[in-house]
Structure 1
Amino acid sequence: MIREESSSDVRKLKTDEIYSDLVVVGGGMAGVCCAITAARQGVKVTLVQDRPVLGGNASSEIRLWILGATSHMGNNNRWAREGGVIDEILVENMYRNPEGNPLILDTVLIEKVTEEPNIKLLLNTAVYEAEKSDDGTIRAAVAFCSQNSTRYRLLAPLFVDASGDGILGFLSGAAFRIGAEGKEEFDEQFAPDTQYGELLGHSMYFYSKDTGKPVRFVAPSYTLKTLDQLPRFKSFNLKQHGCWLWWVEYGGRLDTIHESERIKWELWKVIYGIWHHIKNSGEFPEKENHTLEWVGTIPGKRESRRFEGDFMLTQKDVVEQRAHYDAVSFGGWALDLHPADGVYGDKPGCTQWHSKGVYQIPYRTMYSRNIQNLFLSGRIISASHVAFGSSRVMATCAHNGQAVGMAAAICKEKGLLPKGVSSPELIGELQRRLVAGGQYIPGYRLHDDEELAHQAEIKVSSTYKLTTLPFDGPWRKLDFAMAQMLPVGKGSMPKITVELQADVATQVSVRLMAAAKRGNFTPEVVLGETVLSLEAGVQLQEIAFDYTQKDESYLFLAFSPNSEVAVRQSLTRLTGLLAVYQRFNKEVATSSLQSPPEGIGIESFEFWLPERRPNGHNLAFSLSEPLQVYEKHNLTNGVFRPTTGTNAWMAATDMAQNWVELSWKEPQQIGIIKLYFDTDYDHPMESTLLGHPESEMPFCIRQFTILDGKGKVLASVADNHQSMFALELAEAVVTDRIRVEVAHPLPEIPAALFGITCYPKKK
């Protein structure tokens, strides 16, 4: 029994002091991926989250899907899903949760964090005060947990603000901005005027379900009863629920930090008003048996503070895809701005303009310019309002967070502050460590003198020669222009034979096309054109172009639309091979041709999009000369996804045993071996709601064995589904050979590897 006498003094809360190497404030996707990355590098991390679950906008509290550069496969950014820890999370969620249940995603995130012994996780704990040792240095963050009535002093030499609103940056005095810059400051012609509004609002989602019997709905008193005030409701689709309702948005003309509760109440009024109208207006009898299953209790917030770093990302960095010496991440979501009036306005719910490819994000956007031990992560990085319209989405934020986590590890090891890592020498180290861990940086190849695989002689069991894709798939009408993407190396373009079926005698134009910028996947340069004259019926046609390729890149064999003609497709699926269509995805575009108004600094171009499986078959074809694009040298070229080429070694399909062998003239001490697999980086893997027909990516090698030169098994895996496998040996093995034996994932899909790396010690 505890009994305490009354006291005239004010009692103090129980206070715990926690010392760590790094304090990460905010447990959204950026904070989670930052904390995991740092912890795996030996950094002691305290992760502080003011909610009962992790994930922020992706959690079961809000239920927005995680997306980034892939943009629902609705832009021309091929193989653009973010890598590293965020990829690991998305792949794992896909494996366990293809249905998109947000509660399961919660468990995946909690598991990933709590499995790291170097992370101290504080849930339901809100930072409310900062202590400083001098004007530019944070000494401690002070937080309170509402569930255990405990006050925490979190002391560390380094801090990360990934809180969304930037609470620690604000309290510590970091320079920040709220609202939109004018067009003149950064020469951003897409900058909005005051009528459109300077802030993006909050959104709230709801789900309904069919109970099998009539359900009455009595609207609460605060319900908005007159929906004529909501112009956006006129386009409401009864099949929409969850994050398809992103347009239920409000608050862009308010203080999106201090008036967030007011915004939430207004969104509740709107949501219950929408449901009241659906249930009680008599206009939707098909919803008689439906009940509200779930309504969000906190809104998904898009924008508040943005903090100033040593570099500010702007519109031209995105649209022009500018290169940065300190690139550590990338983006690819559209410049996506929303009118401030949201659901109460008469403007379209958003204005999305895409760039022709992905863009680099520099490290200098990820730390405060005036608080010297504060990293920035998530949507608060140093970006203008316009560039923020792209960089704010969760997968991009998470990818940035990984860069910050690795930079914090370098700071710890070398006794540096965040700015110190921005030197070219240390940026090179940061980039090497990120890419070795699965992060993707556009235009960067892994170069590491300590890595041993690139020093080895490589032998393989066989190599797939791209000569024919069997004529065994469905016929596809040319209702839209269609193109087969082909990875073509240096040399002459081979002749290609295809099979077509014409309803009547007609013609089809075929063009050979390429992107204007190497590494992009926007076909806009016509390299050659021919016209096929077709008879009625099925026929083979040989296509020849007098074209010689100077550098390895993807070319597009593009067929003009003709609804009287169908092309034969193939059931064979291969790493780095896709067919695309000149059409649009209504979730991220309004036309197959992006046609921005003049004077806003955005380019016009066509969208060429792949289809999701189980559709999305390649064109059936045969080539006069094989394309040698799956060679063994790709295993050590330092790129672990398709870019200008496949970047993969692929085994021939007719071999029963498939293997790669690395050998050295002298025995090597090897402690870490990493394998990089194909989990289809073109698939967005939306984490919530949408649902996917697969739980495992069909290209991913599931069974493999790693052996040393004496035939000793170092690892044997029968159920892999992840993009990267890292074998960290308890004791280094001394050997002159490493052999990796792999099985074909499926009978119609040959085994492919993007890379192998070997290290003598932990990197």
Structure 2
Amino acid sequence: MKQKIEHYDVVVCGGGLAGFCAAVAAARHGATTCLIHDRPVFGGNSSSEIRVTTHGAAAFHAYARESGIVSELLIQERALNHEFINENGWTNSVWDMVMYDMAVSTPNLTFHLNTSVQETKMKNKRSIEAVVCRTANAEIEMTVYGNTFIDCTGDGVIADMAGCEWRLGEEARAEFDEMFAPEQASSNVMGSSIHFKAIDMGRPSPFKAPEWAYHYEDASFFYKMGRPLFNTGLTDRYRSGYWWIEIGMPWDSIYDNEEIRHQLTRHTLGVWDWIKNKDPKLKEIFANYALDWIGQVPGKRESRRIMGQYLMTERDALHHTVFPDEVAFGGWNIDLHTPGGLLAPTSEPGAAEGYALVSDFMRKSICGPYGIPLRMLIAKDVDNLMMAGRNVSATHAALGTVRVIGTTAVMGQAVGTAAALAASKGISAADVPEKAIAELQQLLLRDHCFLPNVKNEDPLDLALSAAITASSEAKFAGISPDTAGYHEGLNVWLSQLQTSHTDLLMKRRGQWIAVATCKLDSLQVCVSNNTQQTEYVKAYVMQADSIWDYRIGAPQLAHATLEVPPGAHQWVEWKVELSAAAGLQPGTYIRLDLDENPNVEWHRAGKIEPGHVCGFDMGGGKMRRYDNGISMSVQVDPPQPCYSAANVVSGYTRPYRYTNLWRSEPDTHPLPQWLELSWEEEHNISTVELAFAGNLLREYHAYEPFYRDPQCVRDYTISVWVDGEWRELLACEGNYQHKRVHRFDRPVATNKVRITVLATNGDPSAAIYEVRCYE
């Protein structure tokens, strides 16, 4: 056995998406970093070996997609990949190579694939000195020394070896007053899954299951027990594996992993046998389909949870606890799978209800977006050990929301950045929440992460002190059913197609509207009344704290009853006459709500207006997103200048408490358009950082092959004012990423910087969320 010794600032164990983002973040911030992963490809559950597609907060909330490193990766994958994404089983090796390319291209990052940790060496009880690793098929044993270690192994292997306290299973309800916890504590954990994929052969393709496969005979097992085969006409949906092919107890999710893999294989073949040979409808639809792939690495949901400086509970997610050490965010629902999976009477509650949009379970389980504290990502027993992924310090119930891949990725970026910051300051990871949290938060925001309760206040960002002007600024006057949009390639996650083709007011519905002035004279809605008599609809204007303020009982600014005569596609006006005296606040959102009237249809707009979303009453005093992030037809008088140039220094890089977006006026000012920052005195500008629009509205699953978001700026230049004229410093072509950092060869003394947008990827408006400038 060949022996090797290596030394690093940061050692990350586990190369799933959490560990990968942690390692890249640490290396980008100057720390010498080693990433150790026991598989041949990066990505963990998201890789082509397991093929769990990347879910996150945008499954439930518009404009809540995770940004930062994970967004870079997903945007790149969609731009390069020919494969359509719908659900589990669809991931191919393009995703692996996108991650591999980033790893190879990242300075300060060394990685070892096919390498597993065998032993942890301790300096003392509170500090890890090194990990001992073995590389498969290479007869190499390495001892890797580090200052900070990050456990992203999923099973908490490093923490366990280091003697950290951990939990496994369900807490009792009374311990933390969690409504999703059982009355009695247990060792039950959520199960593991493997996935499959099928291919259309264009001719009959018989299938015979082996004798050792599980043989299903009862249709009610699928159709009445929450194991949907999606017999909805969306044929492509059947081609890939189902999350509910899941096995857990009575097997141990750690020690019985190989037995779980075998049992999952038996059941996967049995499910395909049912589809191909027994299901009354699907066997005809799938006569020409053949199995193309079956996973053989179980995708694990839960095992050890390492106890950190803070233990997150479901109450933190449901009630949006504001943490002083917030470093990430989540927004998936409290999604706890039934113990036993396929061996249980029914699958998880949401599926058992047929994914009902309105139910007692959905009202209780929807949460977020909420903040995640750094303290739950730092082991309480070892000062130089951090963690990210499904092994973080959370109760079983809280794990139901923080465990999804998109959320674990942003947690990974947070701990990687924290580890590098600790190295630069010469402090331990355990001290970062007390000694460097504000600096860490500003670093994360600069790297295009989103924190719900922190905004850009970087004292080094010169843009915050600049005067901002632009060649034009769009206003929001309204949108109609006939308004054309630029959304080519933007679809919906087919498994969450929420509405029919009608927009009848079956429940109260609200449209968020950005307000930029203290004057709002009238609002109009486009509605149809297909009855023979006049219908009446109660209308309300509510003050909304953000686009995720779902309170039915939000502060009310005005109310009226609208009269809707018989007829189709008619505009009904409401003279609201709102002003500052009535509570109208510039730089905020209001929400226009129309009450339930199933005889009236409020028509959706033909385009999606940036930052203007819609929700509906799900009961229990709150709304949830309507459809998949659409806009309703509405007219606003006077038009609101809510896309001003000053928005690029709002401190936020997405619609949130306001639009936070500069958009040029597309109708009267075609591209090119420019945005300018100016100061009274000259500064030596060396770096300009840009955050463009796009890739935030919906889940990754909604973006089609070779997707480049039409809103995203494609071609642009950066110029500076020198000696009485504009000097172009750089020209960029073919961009589709929404975060770009440009460092110049040498600083330039100037008092003006101009970004000129020459072309987008399809939208006629230039659109920028943020500009930063540094000396």
1:64: how far off? 0.7
Structure-1 residue corresponding to 2:590: 555
Indicate which of 642, 648, 655 corresponds to 2:669. 655
1:466 is aligned to 2:476? yes
Structure 1 residues 56-111: Cα deviation after superposition (integer angstroms, max 9, x where no partner): 1111111111011112xxx3x23111111111112112222262342211111111
CA distance 1:625–1:546, change in 2 (3 Å)? closer
Q: CA deviation at 1:516?
A: 7.0
Q: 1:719 aligns with which of 734, 737, 758?
A: 734
Counterparts in 2 of 1:38-437, with a 5 A limit? 38-71=26-59, 75=60, 77-97=61-81, 99-100=84-85, 101-193=91-183, 198-228=188-218, 231-232=221-222, 235-237=227-229, 239=235, 240-241=237-238, 245-281=242-278, 283=280, 284-350=283-349, 353-423=364-434, 425-437=435-447
Q: Give the SS at the match of 1:712.
A: strand
What does 1:304-703 correspond to in 2, within 5 Å? Answer: 304-350=303-349, 353-423=364-434, 425-469=435-479, 472-473=482-483, 477-478=503-504, 480-481=506-507, 482-489=509-516, 491-504=518-531, 505-514=533-542, 518=546, 520-525=548-553, 527=556, 528-545=559-576, 547=578, 548-551=582-585, 552-560=587-595, 565-567=600-602, 570-578=605-613, 580=614, 582=616, 593=618, 605-611=622-628, 616=630, 618-653=631-666, 654-656=668-670, 657-686=672-701, 692=704, 695-703=707-715
Instruction: Give the Cα–Cα distance (whole angstroms) in 2 for the partners of residues 440 and 145 of structure 1.
Output: 37
- Scaled by the length of structure 1, what TM-score is found? 0.89
The equivalent residue for 1:9 is: none
Q: Kindly indicate whether the alpha-carbon contact (under 8 Å) linking 2:519 and 2:638 is maintained by their aligned counterparts in 1.
A: no
* Partner amino acid, structure 2, of 1:190: F
User: Quick one: structure 1 residues 387 and 417, their matched pair in 2 at CA, closer, same or farther if it must change by over 3 Å?
Assistant: same
Quickly say closer, same or farther: Cα 1:356–1:297, change in 2 above 3 A.
closer
Q: Give the fraction of aligned pairs with identical amino acids, expressed as a percent.
A: 29
Alpha-carbon spacing, 1:514–1:268, altered in 2? closer, same or farther (3 Å): farther
Match of 2:719 among 699, 707, 726: 707
- Deviation, structure 1 residue 279: 3.6
Letter in 2 for 1:35: A
CA distance in 2, matches of 1:701, 1:480: 39
Structure 1 residue 538, shift from structure 2 partner: 4.8
How many angstroms apart in 2 are the aligned matches of 1:471 and 1:391? 38
SS of 1:336's equivalent in the other structure is coil
8 Å CA contact 1:144, 1:152 repeated in 2: yes
Deviation at 1:736, TM superposition (A): 1.6
Which blocks of at least 5 consecutive residues in structure 2 are unaligned?
Answer: 86-90, 351-361, 485-500
Per-residue deviation, residues 549-570 of structure 1 (Å, max 9, x unmatched): 3544332323345565455554
Deviation at residue 17 of structure 1 after TM alignment = 1.4
AA paired with 1:740? I
CA gap 1:574/1:208 in 2 versus in 1, 3 angstroms: same
- Secondary structure of 2:99's counterpart equals helix
**CA–CA distance in 2 between the matches of 1:691 and 1:389?**
25
Tell me how far apart the structure 1 counterparts of residues 284 and 632 of structure 2 sit (CA, whole Å): 45
* In 2: Cα distance, 1:183 partner to 1:375 partner: 28
CA contact (8 A) 1:232 1:344 kept: no
Report the counterpart of residue 587 of structure 1 in structure 2.
none
Change (3 A) 1:573 1:751: farther
1:530 partner letter: T
* Whole-angstrom CA distance in 1 between matches of 2:48 and 2:694: 25
For residue 752 of structure 1, what is the aligned residue in structure 2?
767
CA distance in 2, matches of 1:170, 1:747: 51
Distance 1:305 1:572 in 2: 46
Equivalenced residue count is 718
Structure 2: distance between partners of 1:113 and 1:201: 31
2:750 to 717, 735, 746: 735
Displacement after TM superposition at 1:641 (Å): 0.7
Q: Distance in 1 between matches of 2:449 and 2:437?
A: 14
**Structure 1: distance between partners of 2:284 and 2:474:** 58
Residues 221, 18 of structure 1: alpha-carbon distance in 2 compared, 3 angstrom cutoff: farther
Displacement of 1:367 in angstroms is: 1.0
CA distance in structure 1 between the partners assigned to 2:423 and 2:396 by the alignment: 32
Is the Cα contact below 8 Å between 2:50 and 2:298 reproduced in 1? yes
- Larger mean Cα displacement after TM superposition, 618-627 or 190-199: 190-199
**Distance of aligned partners of 1:522 and 1:220 in 2 relative to their CA distance in 1, 3 Å threshold:** same
Q: What's the secondary structure of 2:11's corresponding residue?
A: strand
8 A contact 1:91–1:722 mirrored in 2 = yes
Please give the TM-score of this superposition, normalised by the length of structure 2: 0.87
CA distance in 2, matches of 1:497, 1:119: 56
Which 5+ residue runs of structure 1 have no aligned equivalent?
1-12, 583-591, 595-602
State the alpha-carbon separation in 1 of the partners of residues 527 and 621 from structure 2. 32
Q: Aligned to 2:34, what secondary structure does the other structure show?
A: strand
Asked if the contact 2:122/2:130 (under 8 Å) is kept, the reply is yes
Q: Which residue of 2 aligns with 1:20?
A: 8
Q: Name the stretch that deviates more: 223-232 or 411-420.
A: 223-232
Contact in 1 for aligned 2:253/2:303 (Cα 8 Å): yes
Distance 1:516 1:313, change over 3 A: farther
Corresponding residue of 1:585: none
Read off the aligned partner of 1:651 and give its amino acid letter. Answer: S
Q: Secondary structure at the match of 1:53?
A: coil
| Farther-moved stretch of structure 1 (525-534 vs 157-166) | 525-534
Q: Deviations over 1:423-454 (max 9, x none)?
A: 1x510000001001101000211101111111
- Amino acid paired to 1:576: G
- CA–CA separation in structure 2 for the residues paired with 1:569 and 1:336: 30
